[in-house]
Amino acid sequence: MKIILVVKEIEGGGIQKSYLTLFNSFLKYGHEAYLFVLTKPKKLTNLHKNIIILNGHTKFQKGLQLKNYLKKLSNIDLAIINAEYMKKYIPISQDKIFFTVHVIWSHRLGKGINKFFKLLKLKYRYYNENIITVSDGIKKDLMENIKIKPKTIKIIPDSYDIDEINKLSHKKIDIKDDFIVAVGSLLPVKRYDLLIKSFSMIKNKTIKLIIVGSGKEKDNIINLINKYKLQKRIILKGFDENPYKYIKNAKLLVLSSDSEGFSRVIIESLILKTPIVSTDCSPIFKENFFSENLKKFIVPKNNAQLLAQKIEQALNDYPKINNEFCYTFSDKNIINQYIGLIQNK
């Protein structure tokens, strides 16, 4: 099948990695896939020839570029898009276009008049569209809290190339000390301020904290590191297309966010059998596969002291991780679900 994907960017956090993984998975299983990207990556190099960067200065210019590319491709079977405003430039039947949703929108509405207009915008964006959410929690949020009226709405989890994750996790790293890892874009919603405060409170003063990610909060994070005098214990690694080597070797992965969607890094950590401590920021923790033993290490949001306590507890004694359920999210299984969207029509 011929499949196109359209995404705002491919560097950064979970959504970006989800699209890149999905694109590679389509190719892996013999489909003709093209990934159109609206923002030029700064660090990723040697991109596949079917990854096309739209270089226009405005959304309109990028849209025209996309439309011209797609005219040359013809006979497109399926379009999966994250940049919803690009839909009008995709010259195929609307039944073949699907919007993906990866976030809990009700956590990102703001307050007052801003909340009102954001709700209206979301209802308009998803009205009578084909929607794919990556979890049941996100689907419920859209239907019950945002109250959208889609044409169709289905759940298809993110795709994980488990063999590739395991392979990349064995790459060498330049860290010899024991460390905790946090992976994600440096954005306010990720609450690195909370993580750094919690890290300053733990009794173990020899373990390090490695933060893998880039973003606009970097300067604020550096200021916090200086404030707590943790310059020798916290290392900012920046964006790395292979975070698995850090996750695999970490004593613990910590997620301190206020809000997450399905949270790729949680599944990746479980695949690699690395213990997890997290704030209660994602619907993933309510899924049946997430065991009660692991739920004991999920703490309320915005509580630095409790987060610090659970970090210490996890470092000393963490239950055995059974990751067999992860194969539910294997790339082959997820690709078959996407192909089924068209074959079932």
Q: What is the pLDDT of residue 15?
A: 80
Residues of the chain above pLDDT 90, percent: 70
Of 338 and 261, the structure prediction assigns the larger pLDDT to: 338
Say if residue 279's pLDDT is above 90: yes
Q: State the residue for tokens 């055995």.
A: 320
Residue 173 CA to residue 208 CA, distance in Å, equals 14
Helix axes 331-343, 14-28, angle to 10 degrees: 80
Residue 77 CA to residue 59 CA, distance in Å, equals 24
Q: What is the pLDDT of residue 148?
A: 95
Please give the biggest Cα pair distance in the chain: 61
Q: What is the pLDDT of residue 299?
A: 95
For 32-86, the pLDDT digits (tens) are 999 999 988 877 777 899 999 998 889 999 999 999 999 998 889 999 999 889 9
Comparing 68-72, 193-197, 228-232, the range with the smallest average pLDDT is: 68-72
Q: What is the pLDDT of residue 2?
A: 95
For 291-300, the pLDDT digits (tens) are 888 899 999 9
Residues of the chain above pLDDT 70, percent: 99
Say if residue 104's pLDDT is above 90: no
pLDDT band for 180, please (50, 70, 90 cuts): very high
Residue 276 CA to residue 181 CA, distance in Å, equals 10
Q: What is the pLDDT of residue 290?
A: 80
For 298-344, the pLDDT digits (tens) are 999 999 999 999 999 999 999 988 878 788 889 999 999 999 998 76
- Burial class from Cβ neighbours inside 10 Å (0-12, 13-18, 19+) for residue 157 reads buried
pLDDT band for 13, please (50, 70, 90 cuts): low
For all residues of the chain together, what is the average pLDDT? 92
Say if residue 277's pLDDT is above 90: yes
**CATH numbers and ranges of domains, the chain:** 2-159+329-343 (3.40.50.2000), 163-327 (3.40.50.2000)
pLDDT band for 12, please (50, 70, 90 cuts): low
Nearest 5 degrees, angle CA 256-CA 170-CA 257?
10
Q: What is the pLDDT of residue 248?
A: 97
pLDDT band for 190, please (50, 70, 90 cuts): very high
Say if residue 177's pLDDT is above 60: yes
pTM: 0.81
Q: What is the pLDDT of residue 325?
A: 77
Cβ 6 vs Cβ 83: under 8 Å: yes
